[in-house]
């Protein structure tokens, strides 16, 4: 308005030309000419009439278009147009063509667009946004919590309220959980999909750490479990951009509505269990979805059944089972650790990084996105879950040896070898700890021959040297070729009062030290 006033002053008071005025006011000549033309048509001259402020001057120079007359041209149903535009692939151009087929003397496309825009401005901000039917589900947590009282202790614990809203119909789901952690976040999505009886194409969450591992303006990184949920239901996760609340304005309004019409209505009630709270929330959410819109015909539920429900994707045969993910490196014993339990993988992956997907009952191990192993979930810390096919061939053959088989093999060489094998395993805390020593004896038999091994075993038993290194030393030094001489038993000690023995001298020494 300030430049329009300056144009009028320079034209009427100073008598300058349009070219001069355009240079002074930094305006195009066409703009100056249009201002002067509108002023002439409105009967505005200089000086301006007293009390003519900027708003009044704008109204005189730029009056709003007259409202359409019902008797002039057939009026389109703007509420129906607004509803139809929510359908997939429906454009205003298509609706105008259908309108012209029914009313050949109707408005042009540009005029219809203008009139629809004026009508849409009277709606709420959220309803003015166009969302395709079945396209997006917006999710968030309400800022308000609800207290649940323990009947025994009287302790109060706060429950969090999860809210999901369909973009096209505003159909709303709400449910309470104990936490906002990953497990409750995922289970809330599962219940929301079941409530809507189908899946949208996109889910728009906020950048909660439970779902979004690394927020980013362009490519946010999702939590692996959240991404796993998306794959199971065939949806895309499109987190709102950081610091862009308008990306999730639909759920922001939905949260506000839930807090006003559901949580506020429960403010005077006391709850003693999460199930009791969710039952109350479900009743009030049903009333909310059946409440008529203020500026649109129908209700959330009617709109959902007419435009959203027919185009939602069907639910999978089974609901998503909560699974967590962990990255681990395969140890040299071809096992990976999960919560102090060890699970085998094919030995070829030793040293490689793998992904562990684990539920309450199973553990899946994936390498480069391909499953390479699957185990039942183990609960005993320090124990191993091992599949035989994951071992190298040499390890498999080694584990085929049992105590009885080792003794049977030793007996084929000779009785002393069998006796030595039995003693080696008997002297160990656990028989399996003697396997390696006995396997070493097998190797010595192949190297030196069974006859020499039997002789070495006899000498080892005689010396009470029941170990693999002793037998190896006997063979290496050739001691097995020497005759084993049985030592004569020691004679019993002679008992006589004149023989004092070692105890006497030990006592005398003690007395001398004492003196």
How far apart are alpha carbons 49 and 420 in whole angstroms? 125
Average pLDDT of span 136-152:
90
Claim: this prediction has a pTM higher than 0.75: no
How far apart are alpha carbons 315 and 331 in whole angstroms? 40
Residue 314 DSSP SS3: coil
**53: which 2 tokens?**
């402020």
Kindly tell me if the per-residue pLDDT of 356 is higher than 80.
yes
Checking DSSP bridges between strand 156-166 and strand 146-149, what pairing results, if any? antiparallel
Kindly tell me if the per-residue pLDDT of 45 is higher than 80.
no
How far apart are alpha carbons 3 and 48 in whole angstroms? 14
Could you check whether the bond before residue 47 is cis, i.e. omega within 30 degrees of 0?
yes
How far apart are alpha carbons 273 and 487 in whole angstroms? 84
pLDDT tier for residue 215 given thresholds of 50, 70 and 90: very low
Higher-confidence position of 51 and 325: 325
Higher-confidence position of 353 and 496: 353
What pLDDT score does 313 carry? 92
Phi then psi for residue 304, to 5 deg, are: -65, -45
**341: which 2 tokens?**
């339990």
How far apart are alpha carbons 233 and 227 in whole angstroms? 10
Which residue shows structure tokens 């001069």?
Answer: 20
pLDDT tier for residue 70 given thresholds of 50, 70 and 90: very low
Higher-confidence position of 229 and 405: 229
Kindly tell me if the per-residue pLDDT of 113 is higher than 70.
yes
Mean pLDDT, the chain, integer: 80
Which residues face 165 on adjacent strands? 138, 172
What pLDDT score does 463 carry? 87
What pLDDT score does 130 carry? 64
What pLDDT score does 54 carry? 65
Checking DSSP bridges between strand 136-141 and strand 202-204, what pairing results, if any? parallel
Q: Give percent of the chain above pLDDT 70.
A: 80
What pLDDT score does 225 carry? 85
Average pLDDT of span 454-459:
90
Average pLDDT of span 66-74:
61
Q: Give percent of the chain above pLDDT 90.
A: 21
CB 326 within 8 A of CB 338: yes
DSSP class of 268? T
What pLDDT score does 216 carry? 41
What pLDDT score does 82 carry? 83
Strands (E), 8-122: none
């Amino acid at each position: 308005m300030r430049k329009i006033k300056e144009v009028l002053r320079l034209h009427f008071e100073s008598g300058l030309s349009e070219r001069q005025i355009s240079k002074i006011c930094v305006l195009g000549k066409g703009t100056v000419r249009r201002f002067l033309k509108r002023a002439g048509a409105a009967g505005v001259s200089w000086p301006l009439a007293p009390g003519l402020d900027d708003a009044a001057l704008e109204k005189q120079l730029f009056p709003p278009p007259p409202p359409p007359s019902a008797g002039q041209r057939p009026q389109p149903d703007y509420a129906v147009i607004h509803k139809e535009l929510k359908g997939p692939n429906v454009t205003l151009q298509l609706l105008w063509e259908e309108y012209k087929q029914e009313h050949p003397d109707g408005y042009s496309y540009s005029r219809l667009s203008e009139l629809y825009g004026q009508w849409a401005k009277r709606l709420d901000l959220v309803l003015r946004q166009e969302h395709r039917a079945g396209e997006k589900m917006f999710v968030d947590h309400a800022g308000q919590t609800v207290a649940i009282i323990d009947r025994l202790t009287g302790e109060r614990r706060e429950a969090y309220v999860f809210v999901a809203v369909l973009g096209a119909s505003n159909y709303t789901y709400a449910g309470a959980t104990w936490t906002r952690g990953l497990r409750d976040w995922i289970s809330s999505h599962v219940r929301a999909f079941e409530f809507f009886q189908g899946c949208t194409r996109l889910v728009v969450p906020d950048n909660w750490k439970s779902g979004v591992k690394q927020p980013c303006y362009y490519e946010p990184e999702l939590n692996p479990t959240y991404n796993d949920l998306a794959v199971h239901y065939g949806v895309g996760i499109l987190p709102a951009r950081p610091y862009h609340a308008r990306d999730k304005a639909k759920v922001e309004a939905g949260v506000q509505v839930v807090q006003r019409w559901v949580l506020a209505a429960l403010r005077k009630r006391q709850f003693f269990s999460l199930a009791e709270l969710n039952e109350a929330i479900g009743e009030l959410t049903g009333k909310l979805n059946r409440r008529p819109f203020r500026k649109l015909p129908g209700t959330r539920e009617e709109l959902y059944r007419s435009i959203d429900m027919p185009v939602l994707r069907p639910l999978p045969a089974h609901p998503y089972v909560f699974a967590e993910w962990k990255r681990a490196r395969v140890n040299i014993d071809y096992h990976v650790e999960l919560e102090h339990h060890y699970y085998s993988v094919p030995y070829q992956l030793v040293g490689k990084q793998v992904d562990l997907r684990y539920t309450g009952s199973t553990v899946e191990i994936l390498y480069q996105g391909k499953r390479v192993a699957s185990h039942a979930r183990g609960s005993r810390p320090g124990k191993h879950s091992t599949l035989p096919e994951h071992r190298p061939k040499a390890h498999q053959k080694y584990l085929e040896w049992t105590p009885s088989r080792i003794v049977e093999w030793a007996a084929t060489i000779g009785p002393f070898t069998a006796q030595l094998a039995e003693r080696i395993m008997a002297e160990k805390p656990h028989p399996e700890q003697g396997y390696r020593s006995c396997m070493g004896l097998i190797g010595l038999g192949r190297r030196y021959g069974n006859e020499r091994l039997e002789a070495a075993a006899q000498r080892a038993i005689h010396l009470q040297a029941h170990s693999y290194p002793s037998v190896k030393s006997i063979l290496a030094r050739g001691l097995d070729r020497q005759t084993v001489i049985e030592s004569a038993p020691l004679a019993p000690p002679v008992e006589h009062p004149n023989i004092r023995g070692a105890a006497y001298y030990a006592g005398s020494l003690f007395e001398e030290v004492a003196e």
